[in-house]
Amino acid sequence: MLDTNHLLEVKNLKTYFPVRSGIFLTAQAQCKAVDDISFSLQAGETLGLVGESGCGKSTLGKTIARLIKPNNGSIHFQNTDITTLGRKKLKPLRKDIQMIFQDPADSLNSRHSISNILEEPFIIHGIGNAKHRKKRVCELMKKVGLQANAIDRFPFEFSGGQRQRIGIARAIALNPKLIICDEPVSALDVSVQSQVLNLLMDLQKEMQLSYLFIAHDLAVVKHISDRIAIMYLGKIVEMGEADDIYQRPRHPYTRALISAIPTPDPRKKSKRQILVGDVPSPINPPSGCPFHTRCPHVQDICRTKLPLLRNTAETDQKKHTVACHFDL
Ligand code: ADP
Ligand code: MG
């Protein structure tokens, strides 16, 4: 049964990439980038998605935006099954689900003026005439804190933070419901990061947006997220309300990520848990618990049995789920 309050409902989602090798480039193995992920998102909510590089965050984001087709599982958006929609049926959906990427320099066409870049979504969806579009472009510039008279300039004439504002303007142009923010501030200086995060939060209030906000460290998502999901090797290993994740992290991986956040007060310095080794390959993931090869609490059962997400919160309404065999 689907909960009708959910804007987005993802169930048992799997996205595998074939790994080709040999002279005939036949698919020999699979890279399990997204491996059995389920969660839901309410209208107006922000879910932070955090994990080390290579754990499948971008693949999950792109699969939900249906830029990639999943192998298994389902994606419901506004109670419509969008898992296998073809190109034509996806077009109206493209208005409602948008993406913002890490490097706006890559996602903005450098040969086009800002005016052309921001006008494009309206042209693709056949909205308004030239005059109307120009007006909307100027409104968008103002909305993201840029001077409307800069519309004839090119992306390279802007700073990184300003370019990301242009990326945001393009994403909100058609009044989307959900924006998948794939590390939108990771390439920016810390001071600029908070300005862009504030802009995203202001726009969320104004336009009732929902965000899936992807980051590789927990510090960035702290203020913007209502709930946080921690991802490791294609799976969610812990999920709960943002405060609970920071104050009562249950999974040893989450604890290691939290201890890696720098604290400004040296007296409060927590004991830093260094994660040893790299993330194992999703082509040949460890048996049992995927984290067992790096876990300081590893026991025999962890090497053979996959722990499923279970609720550890006192009440059923306030969920805090963790995939670990132990109550640490
Ligand atoms: P993250 O965003 O967390 O850094 P990605 O989703 O980019 O992780 O990648 C997850 C895994 O999937 C990685 O092992 C990556 O090499 C692999 N992968 C990502 N995209 C592709 C692709 N188009 N083809 C094959 N493998 C891919
Ligand atoms: Mg990524």
pLDDT tens-digit profile of 147-184? 988 999 999 999 999 999 999 999 999 999 999 999 99
pLDDT at 270: 58
pLDDT at 4: 59
Q: What are phi and psi of 53, to 5 degrees?
A: -55, 135
Nearest ligand 1 atom to alpha carbon 18: 25
Give the contacts of 249 (CB within 8 A, at least 6 positions apart).
Answer: 238, 255, 258
For residue 287, report the distance from its CA to the centre of ligand 1, in Å. Answer: 20
Q: What confidence tier does 112 reach under pLDDT thresholds 50, 70, 90?
A: very high
145: closest CA among 188, 187, 203, 189? 203
The model's pTM is 0.94
Going by alpha carbons, the residue nearest to atom 21 of ligand 1 is 17
pLDDT, tens only, 7-34: 999 999 999 999 877 777 776 789 999 9
CA distance 197 to 41: 20
The rounded Cα 301 to chain-centroid distance in angstroms is 31
148 close to 110: Cβ distance less than 8 angstroms: no
Probe ligand 1: pick from 13, 15, 31, max atoms within 8 Å of CB? 31
117 close to 155: Cβ distance less than 8 angstroms: yes
For residue 128, report the distance from its CA to the centre of ligand 1, in Å. Answer: 38
For residue 313, report the distance from its CA to the centre of ligand 1, in Å. Answer: 32
Q: List, chain by chain if needed, residues with CB within 6 Å of any ligand 1 atom.
A: 17, 31, 33, 51, 53-59, 282
Mean confidence (pLDDT) of the chain: 92
Which residues are placed with Cβ below 5 angstroms of ligand 2, an ion? 58
On the 0-12 / 13-18 / 19+ scale of CB atoms within 10 A, 278 is: exposed
Probe ligand 1: pick from 15, 17, 37, 278, max atoms within 8 Å of CB? 17
CA distance 141 to 90: 27
Going by alpha carbons, the residue nearest to atom 14 of ligand 1 is 54
CA distance 190 to 220: 10
pLDDT at 105: 74
3-class DSSP state of 17:
strand
* DSSP code of residue 126: T
Nearest ligand 1 atom to alpha carbon 234: 10
CA distance 279 to 67: 25
Model confidence at 277: pLDDT above 90 = no
> Two tokens at 243?
């405060």
9 close to 40: Cβ distance less than 8 angstroms: yes
141 close to 169: Cβ distance less than 8 angstroms: yes
pLDDT at 267: 64
Radius of gyration of the chain, Cα coordinates, nearest whole angstrom? 21
